[in-house]
Amino acid sequence: MSTEAPAHKISRPNLVAVGTIVWLSSELMFFAGLFAIYFTTRAVQGPTIWTQSSELLNIPFAAFNTTVLVLSSVTCQFGVFAAERFQNKRTGSMMQISKWGMREWFALTFLMGAFFIAGQVYEYALLVTEGLTLSSTAYGSIFYVATGFHGLHVTGGLIAFLIVILRVAKARRFTHSQATTAIVVSYYWHFVDVVWIALFSAIYLIK
């Protein structure tokens, strides 16, 4: 009778997920640099310029826009839950939210993200009419650079959602690879949401 221990199968982590996490770590360093520039410029310029410029910000509107973006992380995660159970589309009527699949939740997340970007563009337009531009003051420069780069990252996430939705819609069946792609996209979306919470706190709330 053999006394050899049974062979254990080595489970390797998903390379796409690991690669995404490593890439997001580099993105975190990029935004950390923007935060450093923001607080350094604020310290050099002094509180007077910062107070005068920050008074132009519409904090209630920005808070509402932020809430929409944060809630989009919730809808995105519901899409991930659907992907994990390999439900790519709804199994009931559109009004039966409990039966939505990944495509419906991701489509809603896309709309909420697009609303956030539209709100950011609207805010930029108002600030420009009030004299706060990219070249008007040091505050204007770092405000537009920091929020603008984040807006580009959100736009990249919206494109990723579209790609996932279209690929799943055209596929004959929902595969493990497509589910993994959806989960990886959710990592990115949660990342840009967390970064925005930090930006919103630093720019709009900390006086």
Instruction: For residue 90, give every residue at least 6 positions away whose Cβ sits within 8 Å of its Cβ, in sequence order, or none.
Output: 96, 99, 100, 101, 103, 104
- The CATH architecture one would assign to domain 15-205 is Up-down Bundle (1.20)
Q: Which amino acid is at 47?
A: P
DSSP class of residue 91 equals S
pLDDT higher than threshold 50 for residue 12: no
Beta strands in the chain (DSSP E): none
Which are the contacts of 5, defined by CB distance < 8 A and separation ≥ 6? Answer: none
Cα 169 from Cα 29, distance rounded (Å): 35
Q: What percent of the chain has pLDDT above 90? A: 47
Given a cut of 70, whether residue 5 has pLDDT beyond it is: no
Q: Give the separation between CA 114 and CA 117, rounded to whole angstroms.
A: 5
DSSP 43-67: HHH-HHHHHHHHTTS-HHHHHHHHH
DSSP 8-state class, residue 21? H
pLDDT of residue 10 exceeding 50: no
Look at 12 and 120; give whichever has higher pLDDT. Answer: 120
CA nearest to 186, candidates 121, 114, 113, 120: 113
Which has the higher per-residue pLDDT, 126 or 41? Answer: 126
126 band by pLDDT with thresholds 50, 70 and 90: very high
Two structure tokens written together for 47: 């509180």
Domain positions in the chain: 15-205
pLDDT of residue 25: 79
Whole-number pLDDT of residue 95 = 82
| DSSP E strand boundaries for 104-164 | none
**pTM higher than 0.75 for the full model?**
yes
User: Which range among 131-135, 152-156, 171-175 shows the weakest confidence by mean pLDDT?
Assistant: 171-175
Label residue 14 by pLDDT band (50, 70, 90): low
- Specify whether the CB–CB gap between 186 and 84 falls below 8 A: no
Instruction: Report the C-alpha gap between 12 and 88 in whole angstroms.
Output: 26
